Amino acid sequence: MTLSFSKVAIIGAGAMGRGIAQIAAQAGSQVWLFDTQAEAIQKARDAVFQQWDKLQEKGRLSAEAVAGYKSRLLGAASLQDLAECELVVEAIVERLDIKKSLFTDLEKVLTPSAVLVTNTSSLSVTAIAAALQRPAQFAGYHFFNPVPLMKVVEVIAGLKTDPAVCQRLTEFARQMGHTPVQAQDTPGFIVNHAGRGYGTEALRIVSEGIADFATIDRILRDQVGFKLGPFELFDLTALDVSHHVIEAIYHQYYEEPRYRPNVITAQRLAGGVVGKKVGEGFYKYVDGAAQVPAEPSVPVVDSIPPVWVSPRAARRMELLQLLKDLGA
C-alpha cells in the first residue's frame, strides 16, 4: 500500500493531537509531534506509548508492531523541523487568530506541495485559509475524541480548496482505519451542527430546574441511545474547548436561539471546573471514574401515557439516527 502521506506533522500535543499522531503512526507514516510547550510533547508520546504497550499486553499487537509504531512517532523542537512534511495537521486552541497565524508561519517553512489541515470543530475553513498564499492546499480534517475509537473523520473543503487535496485526505483517513465523510464548510459541519443543539437544550433544562445533570444523561443514554449524555460529553471534551465551540457556532449562525450559550458553562469555565482532565466537571472523578449519584427509585405504573414530540425534537432524532448510521 502506498500511503497518501508518508511524512506527517501534528501541531498540538493535547488529547486530539496525540490521538491523530497515534493512528497516523499506526498507518505507517513517519510522524512528528510539535507543541509550544516542550514538556507536552514528551507527555503525549509517553501516553501513546502506554496505549500501545497495553494493547501488546492484551495480545492485540505484536512486540514488532509496537516497536515499529514507537520508532515512527517523534518529537519536533521547532516548526523548522517539519520542513519536509507532506501533511501538517493543526490541533490547537479553537481561536481563529491563533490558527491563522500558525498556518501563515507554516507556509513559510513547508514546500509548496505540502497540505495543511485544521482539526477545527466549529470555525470556518475558508476564514482560516483567507490569509494563506496557497489556500488550494488547505482543508478541514475534523477527528473526534478519542480519536483511535471514534472512526468518523469530516473532510471539509474551503472555498478555494483543490478537490484533489480532499481526495488525498479521504484516502489517508481510510488508510488510518477511519471513515471519511465529505462535509460542507458550514458552522459545525455535520456532527456538531446536528448534535450541538442537544447540549444547549440540556443546559437550558438544567437552568430551568427541570432536571439535574445525571438525570438528563441517563435519559439520553437509556431512552435515546446515546453512548454518552451531554454532560458526560462536556466532561470528556472539557469546557475550555466546548464552551468556545458553543459560542462560535452561535455567532456563525447569526444568534440562532437553539444554539444560544448558557451561563452554566461560562461560570464553570471561569472557575476552572472544566471536566475529567482536571478531576472535576459536571461530575467529580476519582481515579478517572465519574462519581454519579444513585438513580432515584420511582413507583411502578401500569401504563405510560403517550408523549408528544415536537417537530424540532423529531428532526434531532432523525439526525441522531443518521450519525449512528455513519458510525459516529
- Identify the residue whose cell numbers are 514488532: 64
Q: Are residues 179 and 321 in the same domain?
A: no
Residue 142 falls in the annotated catalytic set: yes
Q: What pLDDT is stored for residue 306 in this prediction?
A: 65
The CATH number of whichever domain residue 254 belongs to comes to: 1.10.1040.50
Residue 64 falls in the annotated catalytic set: no
Convert 264-293 to b/e letters by CB count within 10 Å (16 or more is b): bbeebbeeebbbbeeebbbbebeeeebeee
User: In what order do the strands lie in the sheet containing 73-75?
Assistant: 73-75, 30-34, 7-11, 87-90, 115-118, 138-142, 152-157, 179-183
Range of the domain at 242: 191-295+304-326
Q: Are residues 19 and 153 in the same domain?
A: yes
- The partner residues of 34 in beta bridges, in order of sequence, read 11
Per annotation, catalytic residue among 86, 90, 107, 154: 154
Band of the pLDDT at 28, cuts 50, 70, 90? Answer: very high
Among 129, 158, 183, give the residue marking a domain's end.
183
Among 183, 214, 243, give the residue marking a domain's end.
183
Among 126, 149, 183, give the residue marking a domain's end.
183
**72: how many CB neighbours lie within 10 A of its CB?**
18
Per annotation, catalytic residue among 121, 122, 124, 242: 121
pLDDT tens digits for range 237-246: 899 989 999 9
Per annotation, catalytic residue among 192, 193, 232, 243: 192
Q: Is residue 166 part of a domain?
A: yes
Give the Å distances, CA to CA, from 225 to 123, 153, 218, 261, 317.
Answer: 28, 21, 10, 25, 10
Q: Are residues 46 and 178 in the same domain?
A: yes
Domain count of the fold of the chain: 2
Helix axes 191-207, 263-270, angle to 10 degrees: 90
Q: Is residue 276 part of a domain?
A: yes
Q: Is residue 2 part of a domain?
A: no
Band of the pLDDT at 197, cuts 50, 70, 90? Answer: confident
As a 3-state breakdown, the chain gives helix, strand, coil percent values, each rounded to 5, of 50, 15, 35
The SS3 call for residue 296 is: coil
Q: Are residues 87 and 148 in the same domain?
A: yes
Q: Are residues 46 and 154 in the same domain?
A: yes
Q: Which of 171, 177, 179, 124 is nearest to 154 (CA)?
A: 179
Per annotation, catalytic residue among 86, 90, 142, 242: 142
Band of the pLDDT at 70, cuts 50, 70, 90? Answer: very high
The CATH number of whichever domain residue 32 belongs to comes to: 3.40.50.720
Q: Are residues 80 and 170 in the same domain?
A: yes
